[in-house]
């Protein structure tokens, strides 16, 4: 991307969007367009079209989405499918209508079939049964991918689709009820450490395996793809290595400094048994991740302590008087 290109980062306050904005700024891009929800409601078709007609956007990174963990997907499935369909339909269509040169749409590894052959190749999409715990979100995101590919075929619109693995890092959501597994564990171990609780209970068996990508590496991959990838085929983005949830929990426990014991609530769902993606297509373009899981966890916990720990948000008694 030319440093003078006018780039719209949709979802710049989210985990991925904020990292992309940081990386673009560090790389010297000078014409970055951002809007928060109060300025532009991406579920409002008329507002989105007017925005693109007015702003002269050249490139779009569509990182805006409604996301959450297993519990949030189960409780708010209607919100997930509605909001994500509206956001992506409005942005993709308005971008094409306004003559945007290139758009990057973000999918997710959770879109792949529950029992896909490992490691998961891009061709596995829509070849088997979805994981039911996140089906509304997955259906919406697959529709977005299909829309990008259909607009490419019919209109010649240069829309590309990346499939990131599980992401984590500064700016993540750590609320116990709505977060993904990794930030949720950071929060539970931290709270247990502060409270002196002797045990922490994790959902499921701990045997499912996941791969985790530090969000700044994801941002680098997005910029790399905008510069070096123009195919209509989806492309996986991840480190190419996975870890059992129980082993991840042990790493997080050590990072936080919690000294209690772990137990498992076997009545809770595990989700996908394994999600390891084949990233050979991405690696063939010359990209590699830079941040190890151990280093990424340390950076994430440091950010949590400074910005999101519950005790940081409490108003001191003297200040409230």
The set of catalytic residues is 137
Q: Is 108 annotated as a binding residue?
A: yes
Q: Any binding-site annotation on 165?
A: yes
Residue 200: name the closest of 210, 212, 187, 211 by CA: 187
107 is in an annotated binding site: yes
Say what angle helices 77-97 and 45-55 make with each other, to 10 degrees: 30
Q: Tell me whether residue 164 is annotated as binding.
A: yes
180 is in an annotated binding site: yes
Is residue 196 annotated as involved in ligand binding?
no
Tell me: cis bond preceding 17? Omega within 30 of 0 counts.
no
Contact 165, 275 (CB under 8 A): yes
**CB–CB of 312/306 below 8 Å?**
yes
228 belongs to an annotated ligand binding site: no
On whether 109 is known to bind a ligand per the annotation, the reply is yes
User: What ranges in the chain are assigned the alpha helix state H?
Assistant: 15-26, 45-55, 70-75, 77-97, 135-155, 181-195, 215-228, 245-256, 280-283, 293-307, 310-313, 317-320
**CA distance to 21, 57, 214, per residue, from 51 (Å):** 19, 9, 32
**Is 78 annotated as a binding-site member?**
no
- Chain CA centroid to CA 227, Å: 20
Q: Is 267 annotated as a binding residue?
A: no
Per DSSP, the three-state class of 8 is strand
State yes or no: 16 annotated in a binding site: yes
101 known ligand binder: no
Using alpha carbons, list the distances in angstroms from residue 187 to 32, 206, 215: 33, 17, 18
156 is in an annotated binding site: no
CA dist 293 and 276 (Å) reads 15
Q: Which two tokens stand for residue 148?
A: 């990008």
Q: Is 166 annotated as a binding residue?
A: yes
Residue 84 labeled ligand binder: no
Asked whether residue 203 is marked as a ligand-binding residue, the answer is: yes
With 0-12 CB in 10 A as exposed, 13-18 as middle and 19+ as buried, what is 313?
exposed
Q: How far is Cα of residue 309 from the mean position of the Cα atoms in its chain?
A: 21
Phi, psi of 212 (to 5 degrees): -125, 135
Asked if residue 106 belongs to a known ligand binding site, the reply is yes
Phi, psi of 10 (to 5 degrees): -80, 125
Instruction: Give the annotated binding-site residues for NADP(+).
Output: 11-17, 106-109, 141, 164-167, 180
Instruction: Give the annotated binding-site residues for substrate.
Output: 188, 203, 210, 270
Instruction: Give the annotated binding-site residues.
Output: 11-17, 106-109, 141, 164-167, 180, 188, 203, 210, 270
């Amino acid at each position: 991307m030319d440093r003078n290109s006018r780039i719209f980062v949709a979802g710049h306050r989210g985990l991925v969007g904020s990292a992309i904005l940081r990386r673009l700024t560090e790389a010297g891009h000078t014409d970055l367009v951002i809007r928060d929800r109060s300025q532009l409601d991406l579920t409002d078709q008329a507002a989105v079209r007017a925005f693109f007609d007015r702003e002269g956007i050249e490139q779009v990174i569509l990182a805006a989405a409604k996301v959450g963990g297993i519990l949030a997907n189960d409780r708010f499935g209607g919100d997930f499918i509605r909001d994500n369909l509206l956001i992506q339909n409005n942005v993709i269509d308005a971008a094409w209508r306004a003559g945007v040169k290139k758009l990057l749409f973000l999918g997710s590894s959770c879109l792949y079939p529950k029992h896909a052959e490992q490691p998961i190749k891009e061709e596995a999409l829509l070849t088997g049964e979805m994981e039911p715990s996140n089906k509304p979100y997955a259906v919406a995101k697959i529709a977005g991918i299909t829309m990008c590919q259909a607009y490419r075929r019919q209109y010649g619109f240069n829309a590309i689709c990346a499939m990131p693995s599980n992401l984590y890092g500064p700016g993540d959501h750590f609320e116990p009820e709505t977060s993904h597994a990794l930030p949720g564990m950071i929060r539970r171990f931290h709270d247990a450490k502060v409270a002196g609780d002797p045990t922490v209970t994790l959902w499921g068996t701990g045997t499912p395996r996941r791969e985790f990508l530090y969000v700044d590496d994801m941002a680098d991959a997005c910029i790399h793809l905008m510069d070096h990838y123009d195919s209509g085929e989806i492309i996986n983005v991840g480190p190419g290595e996975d870890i059992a949830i129980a082993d991840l929990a042990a790493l997080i426990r050590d990072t936080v400094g919690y000294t209690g014991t772990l137990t498992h609530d076997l009545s809770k769902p595990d989700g996908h048994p394994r999600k390891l993606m084949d990233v050979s297509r991405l690696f063939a373009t010359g990209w590699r991740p830079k941040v190890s899981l151990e280093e990424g966890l340390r950076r994430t916990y440091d950010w949590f302590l400074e910005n999101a720990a519950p005790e940081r948000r409490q108003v001191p008694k003297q200040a409230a008087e």
